[in-house]
């Protein structure tokens, strides 16, 4: 008997950080993965395909031909600034990447997802608000509105849509000089969240066992939200 083909996930931001960790985790669990990023990751696996793509400028509608079983939008960027010093171009770029790209991806791919398909958006604990990060927080807060709306639309087909919202996670973004004015705080557990922990939760949300979870935001913050 011929084995069924592996499930196929499309993962954005797969070149590093959380996106790369998610791609690696899914490959270990037997998925085929197409990674979208401008530069290729250091990842070699016969079930991994890298597609060089600029999410800010590429033709996202053309990705509909990929026909994945799951979409994970992990690409992101953080720019900080306090009132009176906001960089409005940076705010527009974050909105474009986090919200508009997510919308365009879902619009292109959701009609072709199989019944029981999955969508996971990588948000942020900062969606609840944080000084010096208002523009970033607004873009991440918007993802929950998308997830709840799409979850309601797609529930009759068994397609779930959820947001995974990490706290301070040990990725290149955490150490980006562009955020020097707003330094990350170590969570109460005494260490930063690891990308592999976000990947494990994402993989669960993509699994059949998570079929009753939709329209939710799950925060992974190492206890940081317990004191604020």
Q: Which residues are catalytic?
A: 136
The Cα–Cα gap between 101 and 97 comes to 5
Neighbours of 92 (CB within 10 A): 13
Pairing of strands 160-166, 217-220: parallel
Q: Is 72 helix (H, G, I), strand (E, B) or coil?
A: strand
Say how far residue 141 (Cα) sits from the centre of its chain. 13
Radius of gyration of the CA atoms of the chain, in A = 17
Q: Which of 117, 115, 107 is nearest to 31 (CA)?
A: 117
């Amino acid at each position: 008997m011929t084995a069924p083909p592996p499930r196929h996930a499309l993962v954005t931001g797969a070149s590093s950080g959380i996106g790369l960790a998610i791609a690696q985790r899914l490959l270990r669990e037997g998925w085929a993965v197409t990674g979208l990023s401008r530069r290729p990751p250091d990842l070699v696996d016969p079930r991994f395909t890298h597609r060089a793509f600029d999410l800010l400028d590429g033709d996202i509608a053309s990705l509909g031909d990929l026909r994945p079983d799951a979409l994970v939008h992990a690409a992101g960027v953080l720019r900080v600034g306090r009132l009176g010093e906001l960089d409005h171009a940076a705010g527009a770029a974050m909105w474009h990447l986090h919200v508009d790209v997510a919308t365009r991806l879902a619009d292109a791919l959701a009609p072709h997802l199989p019944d029981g398909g999955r969508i996971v958006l990588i948000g942020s604990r900062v969606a609840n608000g944080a000084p010096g990060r208002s523009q970033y927080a607004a873009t991440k807060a918007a993802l929950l509105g998308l997830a709840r709306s799409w979850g309601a639309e797609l529930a009759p087909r068994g397609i779930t849509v959820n947001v995974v919202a990490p706290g301070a996670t040990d990725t290149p973004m955490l150490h980006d000089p562009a955020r020097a004015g707003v330094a990350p705080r170590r969570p109460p557990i005494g260490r930063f969240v690891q990308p592999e922990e976000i990947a494990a939760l994402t993989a669960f949300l993509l699994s059949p066992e998570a079929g009753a979870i939709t329209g939710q935001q799950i925060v992974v913050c190492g206890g940081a939200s317990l004191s604020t």
